[in-house]
């Protein structure tokens, strides 16, 4: 069932084999056995990806529920022995690393619970939410408010205004604040689509009847800064990140129009059993950031 679920989730036998550390031939054989047992094909192969059949789509949520139950049983048995499970999967946006407390929090946690291995993933907020929903991520940091609020437990903890960065020699560098209308013809380096900020910025432009001139998209704020400091484009970054930048390379400017702030939240899946390692990680991170959870 695990092999079927992973192939369906990844839409690829190759990616599933890499994730599960099992050969493609083994996965193909086991799924073929499952299809024979159920008396129906579960996948349809196309040149670009694997697609679920009607029977496969029916089985997928049931397979996920079965795997969640098995994982809960394994976790509860581990907790009975007083030994936390071996791995904790945490996902954050690359921007979150700008908050200096995060690396320190991880180091302190490893010191307190050396038997717990933390797998840290850097992805955009939307991918974090997706991973939390399908169980591939235990705890994540997402943009607030969440698009998956019914499935997730969400606790906001950090808010920061968005700022504009330009090259110090840019014609807008002496203007403060800067209006969106001033940016109508400016090339923009933007976050990738799995970042909530990507959609937030585009929607803001559209609300003013403007179409952003996106030069490129990236997941790394350092690359954004490099593009801006090379006089190739402008970019939007949270103030906390801007405060770390060299003013000789980029100029930070306030925005005339009100932008949604960079509002972060700790999130995990609700209505599910939390492992010992997840619970102690949440308690630790709440303490580090001074979060009071009701």
CATH classification at residue 237: 3.40.190.10
Alpha helix segments (H runs only) across 168-267 = 196-207, 221-229, 239-242
Residue 2 clears pLDDT 80, i.e. is over it: yes
Report the C-alpha gap between 19 and 89 in whole angstroms. 14
In the predicted model, what is the mean pLDDT of residues 222-237?
A: 96
Residues 224 and 253: their CA atoms lie apart, in Å, by 15
The yes-or-no verdict on residue 25 having pLDDT over 90 is no
Q: What is the pTM of this model?
A: 0.70
Q: Return d(Cα 279, Cα 109) in angstroms, integer.
A: 12
Strand pairing report for 87-92 and 117-122: parallel
Cα distance from N-terminal residue to C-terminal residue, the chain = 38
Domain's final residue, options 37, 60, 80: 80
Residue 294 lies in a domain: no
Mean pLDDT for all residues in the chain: 88
Task: Quote the CA–CA distance of 157 and 116 in Å, as a whole number.
Answer: 24
Alpha helices, DSSP H, located in the chain: 2-10, 13-20, 24-38, 54-80, 101-112, 125-134, 196-207, 221-229, 239-242, 276-289
For residue 172, what are the domain limits? 162-260
Weakest mean pLDDT among 7-11, 24-28, 40-44, 213-217: 24-28
Pair 166, 239 in one domain: yes
């Amino acid at each position: 069932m695990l092999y079927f679920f992973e192939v369906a989730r990844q839409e690829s036998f190759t990616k599933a084999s890499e994730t599960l550390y099992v050969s493609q031939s083994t996965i193909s054989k086991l799924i073929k056995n499952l299809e024979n047992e159920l008396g129906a094909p579960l996948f349809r192969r196309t040149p670009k990806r694997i697609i679920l059949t009607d029977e496969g789509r029916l089985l997928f949520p049931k397979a996920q529920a079965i795997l969640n139950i098995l994982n809960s049983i394994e976790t509860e048995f581990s907790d009975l022995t007083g030994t936390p499970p071996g791995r904790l999967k945490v996902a954050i946006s690359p921007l979150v690393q700008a908050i200096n407390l995060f690396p320190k929090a991880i180091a302190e946690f490893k010191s307190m619970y050396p038997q717990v291995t933390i797998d840290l993933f850097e992805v955009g907020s939307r991918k974090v939410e997706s991973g939390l929903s399908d169980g591939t991520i235990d705890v994540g940091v997402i943009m607030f408010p969440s698009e998956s609020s019914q499935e997730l437990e969400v606790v906001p903890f950090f808010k920061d205004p968005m700022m504009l960065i330009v090259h110090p020699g840019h014609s807008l560098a002496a203007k403060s604040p800067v209006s969106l209308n001033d940016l109508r013809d400016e090339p923009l380096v933007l976050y990738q689509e799995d970042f909530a900020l990507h959609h937030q910025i585009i929607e803001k432009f559209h609300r003013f009847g403007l179409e952003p001139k996106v030069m490129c998209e990236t997941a790394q704020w350092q690359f954004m800064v490099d593009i801006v400091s090379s006089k190739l484009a402008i970019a939007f970054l949270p103030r906390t990140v801007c405060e770390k930048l060299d003013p000789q390379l980029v100029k930070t400017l306030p925005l005339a129009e009100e932008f949604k702030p960079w509002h972060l939240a700790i999130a995990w899946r609700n209505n599910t059993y939390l492992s010992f390692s997840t619970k102690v990680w949440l308690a630790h991170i709440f303490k580090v950031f001074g979060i009071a959870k009701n």
